Amino acid sequence: MISKRYQPVVQALMMSVIMVTIMTAVITALNTGIDGSFPGRWARAMAVAWPIAFCIILIAGKRVMRLSVALCQRD
């Protein structure tokens, strides 16, 4: 198992992979269609989007969590 201190990085990694995989598939399919070259286009889109998403989640993740907690204080 991975050390507990790496949990924020592992969470950011997992969240970014899931988000980017789904979003790039949908956007690539809508913009260019699904044909024989779709997997290559999708892979290129993922290669560009994933590092960006990962960094954003690492940088903004805690702030977004605090903001969501502050916004959801009422029962």
For residue 68, what pLDDT is reported?
Answer: 92
- The tens digit of pLDDT for each residue in 13-38 reads 999 999 999 999 999 999 999 999 99
C-alpha angle with apex 60: 63 to 23, nearest 5 degrees?
Answer: 125
CA-to-CA distance for 7 and 37, rounded, in angstroms? 36
CA-to-CA distance for 28 and 45, rounded, in angstroms? 8
- Token pair of 56 as six digits: 């954003």
CA-to-CA distance for 44 and 58, rounded, in angstroms? 22
- Token pair of 11 as six digits: 């969470």
CA-to-CA distance for 34 and 41, rounded, in angstroms? 10
For residue 73, what pLDDT is reported?
Answer: 85
Q: Is residue 75 pLDDT above 90, yes or no?
A: no
